[in-house]
Structure 1
Amino acid sequence: MKQIRLNFWTQLLVVYTRMMLGGGFVFASIIKIKGKRFTTVSHEDAPFGTAMHFFETMYQTGIYWQFLGWGQLIAGFLLMTQRYAKLGAVINFPIILNVFIITISMDFNYTPGITGMMLLANIGLLLWHWDELKILVNLPPTSTAKNQLVNEPIWEITGLILFSFTAIYRLLYDRYDPVFWFLVCLAIGLAALPIRQFSTKIPRQKII
C-alpha cells in the first residue's frame, strides 16, 4: 500500500480525480443555488414517478433545491482545493451515494453508469485517505508522508482556477455548453502538469 501511495501516476490519478469529481458537483450546484431548473422547460405535467416529475418536485420545494446546491458546491470546492480534499471526500460520499440510488430507482437512461463511476471514484478517494480517516471508527490513525506529489501547491492553484472558472461560467450563463466547459477545464488541468514538471527541474539557489 505504501508503494502505491508513493507512485507518481497513482498520486496524479488522485489529484485529477479530485478535480473531476469536484468540478462536476460545482457545475451542477450553481443552477440550484440560483433557484432555477436544470432545463429551461417546465415539467409540471410530467407523469408521476418519472425522473422529470421527481426533479420538478425538488425544484418546487425552493429552499430544499437550493440547499442541495449548496451541499454540492461545498463538497466540490473542498475536493478541488486539494488541501481539504479529505474532508470533501467525506462530505461528498453521502451526496453521490444518494444521487446514484436515485438514478437507479428511475428511468435515467445511461445516467446510472456516470453516477456509478462517480461513486466509485469517491470511494477510491476515501480509501486513499483511509490511514487518517480510520480514526472515525475508533482506529488509531497512521501518519502519511507530507512530501508527496498530491501535496504540491501547483495542484491547489489549479483546483482554485478550475473552481473559479466553473462557478463564474455557471453564474453568468443559464444556457451553457458542457463541451466548451469540459474542454476548457481539461486544458487548464493538463497545463498544470508540464508547469509542475518544469518548475521541479529549476535548481533552487542556496541560501547563504
Structure 2
Amino acid sequence: MKYFILVACLLISILVQAQDLKMNVLSIQAQSIGGDVSYGGYFKGNGYGFNYSRYVGKKLFADIGYGYYQYNGSGDSTVFVNRKTEEALWNMRHIRFGMGYDILKSNRLTLKGKVGALLLTNNLVDEIWDSGGEITLRSTKRITDKTIELGLLGDYSLGDGWSAVAELSRGMGLQRYKTSSVKLGVAYSF
C-alpha cells in the first residue's frame, strides 16, 4: 500500500509539473497534401487534422496526429481511377507518430524539426473483370501506405497559451506515395 501511495504521489507531481510547464500542445489544422504514385500518376487532397504533442525533455517532444483528406487521384489508366459514385467524402485518412526537436526558439517564434511514421489509407480500384471488352465487375478496397515523414513546423505565440502553427512536410515514398504537405492551424499549450 505504501508503494501504491508513493507511485500515485509521484504521478500526480509529474502531472502538476507538466501543467505548470505547458508541456502539452493540442492543435487543429487545415491541410493540403499532394504527391506522386509509384506506379504512375499523382494525387492531391485537402482536409483537416488534429495533433497532440507532449514534451519529454526541454526541447524534445513526442507527436501524434490524425486527420482526413478528400482524395483525388489520376493515373496513367483512367479505368483504375475511382468514379465519383465510388468515392466518399473525406476518403483518405492519415495517422502520424513521431518525434520532434525545438531547433530555434525566441520569445514568440519556435522552429521545430519533426520526423515520424506516416500511415495513409484510402479507397482504390482493386480489380476489374471484363468480358468481350465490357466491364463485368469492378471492385474497390481500402489500401494502406506507410512511409517516413520529415517536417518543419513554425509555432508563433499569440499569448495565453494560444499559437498559430504552420508546417511543411515531405513523405519519402517508401511504398506507394511520395508526398508533400502543408498544414496551417491553431494550437493551445497546457
Q: Which category of TM-score, normalised to the shorter sequence, fits these structures?
A: under 0.3
Normalized per residue, which structure has more helix?
1
Q: Which has the larger radius of gyration?
A: 2
> Which one scores higher on RCO, CA 8 angstroms, separation ≥ 6?
1
Give the TM-score, by structure 1 length. Answer: 0.20
Normalized per residue, which structure has more strand?
2
